[in-house]
């Protein structure tokens, strides 16, 4: 079940959706890239269809809907605290299949890790509905197929695919949530049997090891990243599954007893992430940090929650200013793991003889 809309129909649709939902979507920010006259696609609240970037993969992740880069949690005085207000209107988030898979990883941490549910996450989470942006083709660094995140069966209210047909752009929507039908009818949509597009093969391929032996942590493969990585943390900040944050207290007065507490996104690649009182620091080298990050994505999270954290969106490779390829590292880890296992098997074999 679905609808087809013209360009103007899509504009109408967004206009009417916008009256009931806040719409959080990828937006191409002209000139906001790192270098002069380069653009960046990041998430923002939009008012119109024209602002929504459907063609390019966003450089930054939808997770900012749940974990803003900087979020005030509460205000405090000497004896009282008050949670920061939140716009309580429901939100429609435009995202891709990999992103929707990433959502589950975010939920793992914020709703299921430890006995406490994160209330600041949950109150935002409860407001979200998802619009699936179809992927007719993979982008340069995508490897969703190998991570099993190319397919999405549920969790979205409708999907959107746009295609150039002659002079016009035609928009196709698969609408599993029938409560949205009225919006499409209102926008002059033509009923059609629509299924969202998805990627079936990617140029970038990864081999994810079933298990990473402890010995791989000490493998020399990590050393080169101590030289190459600059520890900027871009890979973390753009990652749809990176969840770490740091608390900040801000004081309005000299006595230091009135202020607000914020949390800001944090990166395990950036200096200071592990600093403890007294100057102690863990994982001082970039190579160790790279190992920590990569193994979290393809091994450690899985041990705890049953699924790999990485969804293969490739944003970390897109953004790395030092041309470090995370997908290459996965393959290196696979090879190193195989080597350890083979050595172990050979040893075991000898013992049996």
Partner 1 sequence: MNTAVTNANPYIPFPSEILDVVKHTQKEYTFRMKFEGEVRPGQFFEVSVPKFGEAPISVSGIGKDYVDLTIRRVGRVTNEVFEHYKGQSLLLRGPYGNGFDIDLYKEGETVVVAGGTGVSPVRGVIEALSTMDNAKDKYAIAGFRSPDDMLFRDDLARWKDRLNLILTVDRAPEGYEGNVGLVTKFIADLPLRDPSSAKAVVVGPPPMMKFTIIELQKKGFKDENITVSYERKMCCGLGKCGHCRVNSTYICLDGPVFNYTEGKLLMD
Partner 2 sequence: MGELDINVVKLKKNAFRVSKVRGETASRIRIPGGVIDAKSMQKIVEIAEKYGTGTIDITNRQGIEIPGIKLEDVDKVNAEVQSVIDALHINQTERGKGFPSSGTRNIEACPGKRLCPFGNYDTTAMAQRIEQMVFPNDRHVKIACTGCSNDCAKVRFADFGIIGMTEPQYNPDRCVTCEQCVNYCKKRSVGALSVVNGKIVRDTDKCIGCGVCVHYCPTRAWTRSKEHYFRLVLLGRTGKKNPRLAEDFIKWCDEESIMKIIHNAYAYIEEYIDPNAVEHKEHIGYIVDRTGFEKFKEYILKDVTLGPKAEVAKTMYWGGKHYDQYGG
Please tell me the distance from the alpha carbon of residue 246 to that of residue 255, in angstroms, as a whole number. 23
- Using CB under 8 A as the binding criterion, the count of chain residues that bind partner 2 stands at 28
Residues that bind partner 1 (CB under 8 A): 73-74, 76, 78-79, 81, 83, 109-110, 113-114, 116, 118-121, 214, 217, 243-249, 251, 255-257, 261, 263, 266, 268, 273-280, 282-283, 288, 292, 295-296, 299-301, 303-304
First to last CA, the chain: 63
| Cβ 297 to partner 2 shortest distance, Å | 18
What are the distances in angstroms from CA 122 to CA 25, 59, 67, 292, 294? 20, 25, 10, 27, 27
Please tell me the distance from the alpha carbon of residue 284 to that of residue 3, in angstroms, as a whole number. 54
Query: Can you name the residues that pair with 4 across neighbouring β-strands?
Result: 172, 190
State the CB neighbour count (10 A cutoff) for residue 313: 28
| Cβ 61 to partner 2 shortest distance, Å | 11
Q: Which residue lies nearer to partner 2 by CB, 147 or 316?
A: 316
237 binds partner 2 (CB under 8 A): yes
Residue 265 interaction partner, one of partner 1, partner 2, none, beta carbon < 5-8 Å per kind: partner 2
State the CB neighbour count (10 A cutoff) for residue 322: 13
Instruction: Considering only residues 18 through 47, tell me which ones interact with partner 2, judged by CB under 8 A.
Output: 29, 31-37, 40, 42
257 binds partner 2 (CB under 8 A): no
Q: Residue written as tokens 């740091």? A: 246
Contacts of 118 (CB under 8 A, 6+ apart): 110, 111
DSSP secondary structure letters along 287-340? HHHHHHHHHIIIIIHHHHHSS-S-----HHHHH-TT---HHHHHHHHHHHHHHH
| Cβ 265 to partner 2 shortest distance, Å | 5
Residue 342 interaction partner, one of partner 2, partner 1, none, beta carbon < 5-8 Å per kind: none
| Cβ 232 to partner 2 shortest distance, Å | 5
220 binds partner 2 (CB under 8 A): no
**Buried/exposed 66-99: b ≥16 CB within 10 Å, e otherwise:** bbbeebbbebbeeeeeeeeeeeeeebbbbbbbbb
69 binds partner 2 (CB under 8 A): yes
Q: Which residue lies nearer to partner 1 by CB, 20 or 252?
A: 252
Residue 313 in tokens: 């969106």
| Cβ 284 to partner 1 shortest distance, Å | 10
- The DSSP H or E segment spanning 100 is helix 97-112
| Cβ 340 to partner 1 shortest distance, Å | 15
Q: Are 262 and 250 in contact (CB under 8 A)?
A: yes
Q: Which residue lies nearer to partner 1 by CB, 16 or 113?
A: 113
| Cβ 27 to partner 2 shortest distance, Å | 12
60 binds partner 2 (CB under 8 A): yes
Select from 117, 250, 343, 346 the one that contacts partner 2 (CB under 8 A).
250
Residue 76 interaction partner, one of partner 2, partner 1, none, beta carbon < 5-8 Å per kind: partner 1
Q: Are 140 and 204 in contact (CB under 8 A)?
A: yes
74 binds partner 2 (CB under 8 A): no
Binding site residues, partner 2, CB under 8 A: 29, 31-37, 40, 42, 60, 68-70, 232-234, 237, 246, 248, 250-251, 262, 264-267, 270
């Amino acid at each position: 079940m679905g609808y087809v809309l013209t360009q103007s129909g899509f504009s109408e649709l967004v206009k009417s959706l916008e009256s009931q939902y806040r719409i959080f979507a990828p937006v191409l920010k002209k000139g906001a890239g790192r270098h002069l006259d380069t653009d960046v696609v990041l998430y923002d609240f939009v008012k119109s269809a024209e602002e929504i970037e459907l063609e390019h993969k966003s450089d930054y992740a939808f997770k900012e809907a749940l974990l803003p880069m900087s979020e005030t949690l509460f205000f405090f005085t000497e004896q009282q605290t008050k949670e920061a207000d939140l716009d309580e209107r429901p939100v429609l988030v435009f995202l891709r299949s990999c992103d929707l898979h990433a959502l589950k990883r975010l939920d793992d941490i914020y709703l299921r890790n430890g006995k406490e549910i994160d209330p600041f996450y949950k109150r935002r989470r409860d407001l979200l509905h998802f619009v699936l942006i179809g992927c007719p083709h993979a982008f340069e660094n995508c490897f969703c197929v190998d991570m099993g995140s190319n397919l999405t069966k549920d969790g979205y209210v409708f999907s959107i695919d746009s295609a150039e047909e002659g002079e016009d752009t035609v928009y196709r929507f698969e609408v599993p949530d029938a409560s949205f039908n009225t919006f499409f009818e209102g926008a002059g949509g033509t009923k059609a049997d629509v299924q969202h597009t998805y990627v079936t093969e990617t140029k970038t391929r990864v081999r994810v090891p079933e298990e990473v032996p402890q010995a791989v942590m000490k493998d020399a493969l990590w050393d080169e990243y101590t030289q190459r990585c600059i520890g900027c943390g871009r890979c973390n900040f753009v990652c749809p599954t990176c969840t770490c944050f740091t608390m900040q207290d801000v004081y309005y007065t000299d006595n230091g007893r009135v202020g607000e507490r914020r949390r800001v996104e944090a990166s395990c690649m950036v200096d200071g992430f592990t600093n403890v009182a007294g100057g102690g620091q863990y994982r001082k080298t970039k190579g160790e940090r790279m190992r920590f990050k990569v193994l979290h994505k393809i091994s450690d999270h899985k041990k705890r929650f049953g699924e790999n954290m990485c969804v293969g969106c490739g944003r970390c490779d897109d953004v790395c200013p030092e041309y470090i390829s995370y997908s290459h590292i996965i393959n290196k880890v696979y090879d190193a793991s195989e080597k350890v296992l083979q050595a172990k098997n050979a040893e075991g074999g000898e013992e049996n003889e």
